[in-house]
Structure 1
């Protein structure tokens, strides 16, 4: 199933708040007498087209618009799209640039753009370090022992120090510039010496609590750079505890810091919502539901149309009833003899509830594997297998059960969807697997055989230890 937020990226890009003064970038290209010149911008780590212009026979191109561009890092892309130059856009949006494809570092010249003069000096500095960087990488690749690697590490450390010193000095010398904002955001907290009596988590707690200190979340300057998305990804994958409750707390705290910038608020909320709506990890849909209920339902997602908003809200409401920890919805169905059965009347320590289709290729592979694990291990742990047919004919259903000897399972179907199981259990693909406890509370879902085995083994061991 395609995720909702993939389809909404165009909306995110197309409705930024723009100012009315316009922009104009006059480009002079050496070695070009035609073709199309492009202006692109970052959105997170991806790039998108912002403007284009035809190159005249004299090598000139004019990029202009009636509304100002959002600040950030843009790409001046030469005809053929094989070469480009990164350029800064901030308050000064009327300037010119001369580009020579033979040397885009040393022969690029800006006029009327102090920000880009500074950016160019940084890029020239990096270019000067490139030979040393290549040499370090070659030595690391050629290293045959730990001792060889150890000899190179001081050189690598020294290169990193030189680059960081350049950035730190730049911040002091040019405060308030967009490049200083970018350099500050790239910095990471320096953990002080651990105080006497502090526990072993001091370094982690300090680093996490100061992670956003130097990141400008109150202006629009970082939205169209790769920096903000990189910071978000590291924070939520490496620093935030991987449980929905912890993630929700950190999401809300971070979003609160973006409220002074509509564009930063928009990007951060979008990134978090998409990230957790599409997460492959079990239970993360609780974060998605929380974000929708707290920010989308009240109308904070101002950039969405009513139709787009309704799709997101509907998706969250479809997930809400079957989050981990929720009570499973009542489910009644007919067995193969057309007798009525009830999920809640099927008593067992654990219930593996499987929605499946006898014509589904993945089901044909997974159900026999589930049955093997059930017979070998799960049955002795007090597991009952409950399987509900979603598609296929009655004949296909019964034949599959017979062919694979699934007689120890509880089988049922709801051909008229009287229980509305598709919505209540979010059955958009098959097989869809839930693990329920003895009170029919959802303890796990969307697991494979191996994950179910690990979960059941872990819970069995935990319960055994608790009963001693």
Structure 2
């Protein structure tokens, strides 16, 4: 019976280990009866993966029957204390003193965390020395500080090289700034003044392994997609499309990273306030959503098809779709039938605060250029005739071509991408889009003057 009992206990223990696909055990000194949270990084937010309570012996165990998605995780132990841990190995343990987590932590069964914390402990130790020297102003202390900083920089580079291929090395490399080589000489013998800009454009992502899906569960990729494009918004659309493609193509085919980069890059241009960037957005949707349907679910593909169908007709240079609406006299008016050298399509709402502030400015702009060929075609959201009439009278827009959709058949939100009010399009004589978006009245005037009389 004794042997049977021991065998049973052994089988139970073995069974629990076999079915626990991931198991992280931590033993803390100076921590008791506290709830701990295992969280993972995704962009700039930490999401709770699991929670467990520290027992009377300072031990806490996280485990489940499925693997964790590999990446950078954070263990919150209470009292606003936490430590990062790398999840590459699915089963490992560590010990640490809650009063000095980084310096005291020791891992068993995780080479990745061993590497990561050997680096962190070095940085912390040297950081303490630098902090003490910061308070001193004598030349000896200043030189010592610079020497430590230089040695740390060399240490980082050596670490990344020595342990290349490990997740720990990739994470540390992702936090390192680019090394800018000396500027090359131009044909006139002078250094290229645009060298730093060119290097930024071509090498910004050199320190990021965009073939590794684990990098998605870190804060680094999210921050840097926006950081890359924000200073480049002045570039031509073709250049932005080319750069977007280069970023996506750094990831492997049919990978989580590829999907992530497509989503982030497309999203940047979808929400960009720069006029014309919707062309990059449409390009990305057509190439990477519609041509790579295996990455997306059916509903996403359906929505993208609809969005592309309508947005392509609204891009700069496209002839805007026609629309038939009713004016104040009850007469039908179409946008394309308006005879003007330049037309402003002004889609507004009577209860829109921004419309109330902007409409008087537009009235003044129209008055300045009406006799030179400017026309404002102004559909209102909704079909309340009384509200419509009151708005026209109050804001003195009688000289606009004021129209309303009495039938309710026009979907301005979809057909004219009127996701906010006012939505503004500036059209040339042929009703091609030459300006659009959230434009200041001064910017609108510059575009209008350019196309009047053409």
Measured against the shorter chain, the TM-score band is 0.7 to 0.9
Residue 28 (structure 1) shift: 0.9
Note the 1:46-445 alignment, pairs <5 A.
46-79=45-78, 82-90=80-88, 92-131=89-128, 134=131, 161-185=150-174, 186-197=176-187, 199-239=192-232, 241-260=234-253, 262-300=255-293, 302=295, 304-375=296-367, 377-379=368-370, 382-445=373-436
**In the superposition, relative to structure 1, how do residues 268 and 61 fare at CA in structure 2: closer, same or farther (>3 Å)?**
same
Counterparts of 1:136 and 1:416, CA distance in 2: 76
RMSD, aligned CA: 3.2
2-structure distance, mates of 1:426, 1:178: 43
Bigger Cα Rg:
2
Larger RCO (CA under 8 A, 6+ residues apart)? 1
The CA deviation at 1:251 is 1.4
Aligned to 1:32: 31
Contact map agreement 1:266 1:301 (CA 8 A) in 2: no
Whole-Å separation in 2 of the counterparts to 1:382 and 1:137: 67
Q: Is the CA contact 2:383–2:404 (under 8 Å) kept in the aligned structure 1?
A: no
- How far residue 89 of structure 1 moved from its aligned partner, in angstroms, is 2.1
Mind listing any 5+ residue stretches in structure 1 that lack a counterpart? 1-19, 140-147
1:1-35 deviation digits (Å, cap 9, x = unpaired): xxxxxxxxxxxxxxxxxxx9932211112233323
Distance apart, 1:86 and its partner CA: 0.9
Paired residue secondary structure (1:57): coil
Report the Cα offset of residue 327 of structure 1.
0.9
* Partner SS state of residue 78, structure 1: strand
Offset from partner CA, 1:88-147 (integer Å, 9 cap, x none) = 222x332111232211122222222222222222222222343466578889xxxxxxxx
Q: Distance in 2 between matches of 1:239 and 1:137?
A: 36
CA distance in 1, matches of 2:133, 2:315: 50
Query: 1:31 & 1:225 partners in 2: Cα distance?
Result: 29
TM-score by length of 2: 0.84
Query: What is the SS of the residue equivalent to 1:295?
Result: helix
Q: How many pairs are equivalent? A: 430
Secondary structure of 2:84's aligned partner: strand
Instruction: Indicate the SS of the match to 2:256.
Output: helix
Mapped partners of 2:270, 2:446: distance in 1 = 29
